[in-house]
Amino acid sequence: MMQKTAADDMEAAFAVNAAANKIILHNVGKSYKIGKGNFTAIANVNITIQDNDFACIVGPSGCGKSTLLHMLAGLDFPTQGAIWINNKKVTSPGADRGMVFQTYTLFPWMTVEDNIQFGLKLKKMPIKQIEEITDKYLEDIKLTKFRKSYPKELSGGMKQRVAIARALANQPEVILMDEPFGALDQYTKNRMQLLLRELWQKEQSTIVFVTHDIDEAVFLATKIFVMDAHPGKVKEVVNIGIGENRTLEVKDTFEFIQLRKYINELLYDHQDDDEENI
């Protein structure tokens, strides 16, 4: 019989923890080889995210937000530590994770409904069920009338609504979003934030959302991971207790403004005048 190693014991211990948490990042680090040296982008990141959390990640440019998200997606890998999603170690991309990026990633040659149905057809779901799911999400994102349109006929906000519907339609365990509203004007951004909160509540999804926009993070999140750079690490986890049913008016409340101020102070605290960070 093979001898059990300390690493095996550690894996088993994390499997137990992973059962209580939807996502675990344990001592995650990421280094890149640059020339003959090593550049540490992220070091010792420990994060736990529970089922139905809306976790936002904020931090200065270069602190490793996108790298973390790519590692959660299985598109990149830690050089130290491990990531667990739903009790499984992340070793590759998978249908259990849906992604929405800032750049529009719809298939340009497909209509809105074909884009939403793409993953469902891959799974060989019965056509009747595919149509039911498509109708439901088209209604949720208020684009039923545009079901036969092509992405080039849609505005930026509409494209991102389709991208969100496509991600949700696959019923992933986790939705990973990398600045999905970063390219939108403020009015559209506000509308998208409201819609996303509504969908998240209705679907009880678990979302990890990277943003530069503190206002957006406070409005959306149940908890915010504030990161620090050089190397990237979690500086503080801020729980956002401003009520479940948030309307845009919440942004004018004292509690909201205080939270925004607190997170800004955490961020500016370390933003020295390092030109490389700008």
Ligand X SMILES: Nc1ncnc2c1ncn2[C@@H]1O[C@H](COP(=O)(O)OP(=O)(O)OP(=O)(O)O)[C@@H](O)[C@H]1O
Q: Which residues bind ligand X (CB under 6 A)?
A: 32, 39, 41, 59, 61-67, 232
Residue 152 CB, nearest approach to ligand X (Å): 26
Residue 10 CB, nearest approach to ligand X (Å): 26
Whether the bond into 172 is cis, omega within 30 of 0: no
Specify the residue, 100 or 143, whose C-beta has the smaller distance to ligand X: 100
Rounded Cα–Cα distance for residues 207 and 50 (Å): 10
Specify the residue, 136 or 270, whose C-beta has the smaller distance to ligand X: 270
Specify the residue, 7 or 34, whose C-beta has the smaller distance to ligand X: 34
Specify the residue, 162 or 234, whose C-beta has the smaller distance to ligand X: 234
Residue 257 CB, nearest approach to ligand X (Å): 24
Q: Give which of 272, 217, 84 is closest to 226, Cα–Cα.
A: 217
Residue 30 CB, nearest approach to ligand X (Å): 7
Specify the residue, 66 or 190, whose C-beta has the smaller distance to ligand X: 66
Residue 177 CB, nearest approach to ligand X (Å): 13
